[in-house]
Amino acid sequence: MSSDFKLLKPRFVPVLDEGFRPAVLANRAFIDEVESSGAGVPLVLGLERADGSVSRFESRVFPEGHARAGANLMYVERIVKFLLWQRGGWKVYVGGPKSVGEFIAMCYAPDGERAFDYQFMGQDVYEHTFTVVSCKPEDVPAEKETTRPLGRHLDGYRIGFDLGASDRKVSAVVNGEAIFSEEVVWEPRKHSDPSYHYNEILAALKSAASKMPRVDAIGGSSAGVIINSRPMIASLFRSVPKERFGEVHDIFLRIREEFGVPVEVVNDGEVTALAGSMSLEDNGVLGIALGSSEAGGYVTMDGNITGWLNELAFAPIDYSPTAPADEWSGDRGVGALYFSQQCVFRLAQSAGISLPANVTDAEKLKLVQKELEAGHKGAVDIWRTMGVYMGYGLAHYADFYDLKHVLVLGRCTSGRGGDLIVDIAHEVINAEFPSLAERVTVQLPDEKARRVGQSIAAASLPAL
């Protein structure tokens, strides 16, 4: 990446991560510099998805040949990376200086620095060859977004489930009230046989079904990219060999046949946002679940969901060249390493907390949370650090989403941890981004909703 792009040290330095360089500060400083130069030219990015829908993002950059034009490259590459994981797309239009388009095409190529994204967004998700089109701003296609209503059906006897990388939750829901909820530790990422996943999910559903006279519908949420209730790709199933992934694609369709009722499954982030919208009785909600990874979901100002991916776990929030690298995508500074139990484990050593090797991740997290509740300084520093990340991260997200509410939930927010994260995030936002503080509320659900709200909202997905 170009060293011409300036990174800023934040006013609030995370106590366990002095190298943190927030994306939001770097991006805004770059835009201010372009504007104050008086030489800025338009940049228009377009992302096309398989259904023909198109997202657009507009900004300004230095013109070709300008002394600061080298800074364009990292700025645009990081924006493209964010947009791909937020909105999705197999074709990216780069309307702006030719050198920028050429650089993006070089990065997002089979042998480029973003080869993972090339394969993932191309063949794995959208089943097209990933393509970068360098063009003039006026040649980027017009925006063509689609939204649709999601869930909010609470009539009848329903089952809702939520599949995470450390635990699976299930609820039996009768006319909108959860009469039974269960949380079971599992480790799906370590199992290569799809029948393990199928049997575990089936066991959860049968457990909930046993608490009701009948089952009218089943709704679920799962980490990963889910299209028409079919997992296209998901870290939960990362150990399943490619030749058997067809069994994963059809796993929820088989459950539909098993029970003979409507079954709808969507990305866990979407259900997080839906749960938030339902509990707040309002829209414009970004839900962020801090669990095994980071799940993101968005309900629009008119109460619908988009066709976007909202996979914020792999969208960058830290531009530091020494930021930790994600083991799956290989990229640095992405959300999964800042808003999840992965962050807790990453910071534990610096906090003076040793983690046992031969226990599940869920047990490791509980161990650190126990230290937090006991007032261990290192554990407190972990959650304070995550709070700083959250403050700057939410300001970054607000540059890409139209928001009124942010709901923060998930396993990492249980107990004292959630309050620490939100309180510190408020402190950062109030001081650094006062205009954002005036228009967006950041809050936690209550303890019960944090733990099982996801599966209850999931139960509302299918219409009868």
**Which pLDDT tens digit goes with each residue over 133-159?**
999 999 999 999 989 898 999 999 999
What is the distance between the alpha carbons of residues 32 and 350, in angstroms, rounded to a whole number? Answer: 35
pLDDT level of residue 331 (50, 70, 90 thresholds): very high
Domains 151-270 and 272-459 share a fold: yes
| Mean pLDDT score of the chain | 94
Cβ–Cβ < 8 Å for 71, 62: yes
Q: What number is the average pLDDT over the span 404-427? A: 95
Those residues whose C-beta lies under 8 Å from the C-beta of residue 446, and which sit 6 or more positions away, are: none
- Give the pLDDT band (50/70/90) at residue 269: confident
Is the confidence at residue 263, as pLDDT, over 80? Answer: yes
Q: What is the mean pLDDT of residues 255-275?
A: 91
Cα 270 to Cα 457: distance, rounded to the nearest angstrom? 10
Answer whether residue 163 shows pLDDT above 80.
yes
Residue 417 has pLDDT above 70, yes or no: yes
Using N-to-C axis directions, what is the helix angle for 361-373 and 416-432, rounded to 10°? 70
Residues 117 and 330: beta-carbon distance below 8 Å: no
Map out the domains of the chain as residue ranges.
40-144, 151-270, 272-459
pTM of the predicted protein model: 0.89
Order across the sheet with 177-185: list the strands.
Answer: 177-185, 167-174, 157-163, 217-222, 263-267
Topology of the domain comprising 272-459: Nucleotidyltransferase; domain 5 (3.30.420)
Q: What is the CATH number of domain 151-270?
A: 3.30.420.40
